[in-house]
């Protein structure tokens, strides 16, 4: 502990504050006598008390606020509590509760965390980056707040997402909390409620677009290159129109990835790998109908295509396994306005000549004609997987794979309980948000939550431990397959099928295996120094920070 910080200043430093865990000797030496109650607690005793306090709040948002206040007061205690109760805390510190926290950000704002970079200050970004709380940063998460979960434009309130993501980078991946940095690029907002809210804390102007927006992003990237070279930069919750172009523009220039595109895809592929094994089929045998054609949905399909290529399919054969449906119906070659990435999946118009709704077939007709084995939803269209659609699919498929992945819960394409009922319990389901267990054949079956937390913290751990300079597609696919292996290894002893995804409560351990797979792929791709599996495993163990008072400082 630093000997240059004493008394109330020490208690105000969340990384050094131990609260009631300061010993009598420490209290005397650090000028803390009289500033704390006389009782001396262990970290675990503090965590138990904090856990009780957490349950003293009945509403999820109030619990979220409590945890954020704890994080601002004592980060070691915050992370000890989270790591001890990951499954319980995850829905509160992240989805779905974080959506409400973003929506009410200006209302519940308490203390600053991270950096707010406004369009008006774009020429000073490098200078502002120097104001960061800690000079050494391993992982930076940035959003512009335009497409927060399924809630749309939340402006400055989007800062809740990078804060929440980085909490999980630390709790799951073990990235030291002092070496993380949340960033909000404030390009303005088009949300009328926010623009008319006198208490809104962001830039009270409409979003910049076109060349001005591109300049904002370029100024930010240039500042990061100059001030934080080698830092992992994760793009988060950018609108479809920006997400893919930004990733394409910078993925060969920076150590960077987009979690909505690549992280979501890796988790979906991991769950899909397990589902096909349970169903006794191959990935190459699947027919995929995807509802939604945004950057996340296309990213999922792209990663599945990469895995299909590994199984020996040609690019054309892999593309032919997909049918994309959005609000305007099936993606067809004749449709105007498609991005290059979307157009790769557009079907020939001749293919639907005899279908109902010719020229604009909707989901029900596509399912009827295609007979999919896997139905994936990333549309934010609540209830879009109707009983008619699901029963039609289940009639031609022994073990239908259905992934309603939209967040938050209020935007999910289906309730897993309905899916189980409509398929007579045969469905293999993974969701984007948490749902209660299903009751099938007299036993409770957990619903796999395809949360990106299975991948992005492990990617952060992998690049930190392996000193990677880029995030490659093969690293993400390797991580996805490792997720599937971890799920298979967590099969119950009673002979029940393995869950589609590993238990959330064991994710900190699983993160090491997933990070190892990604690190090995980084070495194979030549974007990390040569290292053996044993050397990488040791580096990952060393890099994974443990929430303990002896490890609070960054050295």
Give how far Cα 361 sits from Cα of 318, 326, 366, 392, Å: 22, 10, 6, 16
Q: How are strands ordered across the β-sheet holding 232-235?
A: 115-118, 180-186, 139-143, 232-235, 256-258
Look up residue 207 and give its two tokens. Answer: 């979003």
Residue among 255, 188, 187 nearest 224 (CA):
255
How far, in Å, CA of 512 to CA of 180, rounded? 19
Give catalytic status of residue 94 as yes or no. Answer: yes
What are the residues whose beta carbons fall under 8 Å from the beta carbon of 199, sequence distance 6 or more? 106, 107
Look up residue 408 and give its two tokens. Answer: 């938050």
Rounded (5°) CA angle 408-410-416: 90
Which residue in 18, 79, 119, 165 is the catalytic one? 165
Which residue in 94, 169, 213, 454 is the catalytic one? 94
Helical H segments across 280-350, by residue range: 295-310, 315-319, 340-343
How far, in Å, CA of 255 to CA of 233, rounded? 6
Q: How many CB atoms lie within 10 A of CB 136?
A: 12
Look up residue 322 and give its two tokens. Answer: 């997909």
Give catalytic status of residue 18 as yes or no. Answer: no
Residue among 465, 464, 515 nearest 486 (CA):
515
345 and 319 in contact (C-beta within 8 Å)?
Answer: yes
What backbone phi and psi angles, to 5 degrees, belong to 303? -70, -40
Q: What residues does 116 pair with on adjacent strands?
A: 184
How far, in Å, CA of 272 to CA of 270, rounded? 5
What are the residues whose beta carbons fall under 8 Å from the beta carbon of 437, sequence distance 6 or more? 444, 445, 446, 447
Q: Within the chain, what is the greatest distance between any pair of CA atoms? A: 84
188 and 194 in contact (C-beta within 8 Å)?
Answer: no
Active site residues: 94, 165
């Amino acid at each position: 502990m630093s000997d240059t910080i004493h008394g109330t200043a020490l208690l105000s430093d969340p990384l050094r504050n131990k609260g009631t865990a300061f010993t009598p000797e420490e209290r005397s030496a650090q000028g803390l006598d009289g500033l704390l109650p006389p009782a001396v607690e262990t970290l675990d005793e503090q965590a138990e008390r904090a856990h009780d306090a957490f349950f003293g709040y009945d509403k999820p948002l109030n619990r979220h606020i409590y945890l954020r206040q704890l994080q601002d007061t004592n980060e070691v205690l915050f992370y000890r509590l989270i790591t001890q109760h990951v499954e319980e805390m995850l829905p509160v510190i992240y989805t779905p509760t974080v959506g409400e926290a973003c929506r009410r950000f200006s209302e519940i704002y308490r203390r600053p965390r991270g950096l707010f970079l406004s369009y008006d200050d774009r020429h000073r970004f490098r200078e502002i980056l120097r104001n960061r709380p800690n000079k050494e940063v391993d992982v930076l998460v940035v959003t512009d707040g335009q497409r927060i979960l399924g809630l749309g434009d939340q402006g400055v309130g989007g800062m809740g997402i990078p804060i929440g993501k980085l909490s999980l980078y630390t709790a799951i991946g073990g990235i030291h909390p002092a070496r993380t940095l949340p960033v909000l690029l404030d390009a303005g907002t088009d949300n009328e409620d926010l623009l008319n809210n006198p208490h809104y804390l962001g830039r009270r102007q409409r979003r910049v677009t076109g060349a001005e927006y591109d300049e904002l992003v370029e100024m930010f990237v240039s500042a990061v290159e100059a001030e934080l070279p080698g830092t992992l930069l994760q793009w988060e919750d950018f609108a479809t129109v920006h997400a893919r172009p930004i990733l394409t523009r910078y993925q060969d220039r920076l150590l960077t990835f987009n979690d909505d595109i690549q992280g979501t895809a890796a988790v979906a592929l991991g769950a899909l790998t397990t589902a096909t094994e349970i169903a006794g089929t191959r990935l190459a045998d699947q027919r995929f109908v995807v509802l939604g054609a945004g950057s996340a949905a296309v990213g999922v399909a792209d990663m599945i295509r990469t895995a299909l290529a590994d199984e020996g399919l040609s690019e054309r054969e892999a593309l032919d396994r997909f049918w994309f449906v959005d609000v305007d119906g099936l993606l067809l070659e004749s449709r105007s306005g498609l991005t290059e990435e979307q157009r790769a999946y557009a079907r020939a118009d001749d293919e639907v000549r005899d279908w109902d709704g010719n020229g604009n077939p909707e989901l029900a007709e596509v399912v009827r004609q295609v007979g999919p084995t896997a139905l994936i939803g990333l549309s934010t269209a609540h209830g879009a997987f109707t009983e008619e659609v699901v029963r039609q699919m289940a009639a031609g498929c022994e073990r239908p794979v259905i992934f309603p992945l939209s967040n938050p819960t209020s935007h999910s394409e289906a309730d897993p309980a309905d899916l189980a009922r409509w398929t007579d319990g045969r469905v293999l389901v993974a969701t984007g948000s948490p749902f209660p267990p299903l009751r099938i054949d007299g036993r409770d079956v957990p619903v796999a939550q395809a949360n990106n937390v299975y991948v992005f913290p492990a990617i952060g751990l992998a690049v930190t431990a392996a000193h990677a300079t880029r995030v490659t597609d093969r690293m993400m696919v390797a991580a996805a397959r490792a997720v599937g292996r971890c799920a298979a290894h967590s099969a119950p002893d009673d002979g029940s099928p393995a869950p589609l995804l590993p238990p959330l409560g064991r994710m900190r351990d699983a993160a090491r295996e997933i990070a190892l797979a990604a690190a090995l792929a980084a070495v194979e791709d030549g974007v990390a120094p040569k290292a053996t599996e044993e050397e990488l495993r040791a580096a990952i163990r060393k890099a994974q920070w443990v929430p303990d008072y002896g490890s609070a400082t960054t050295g």
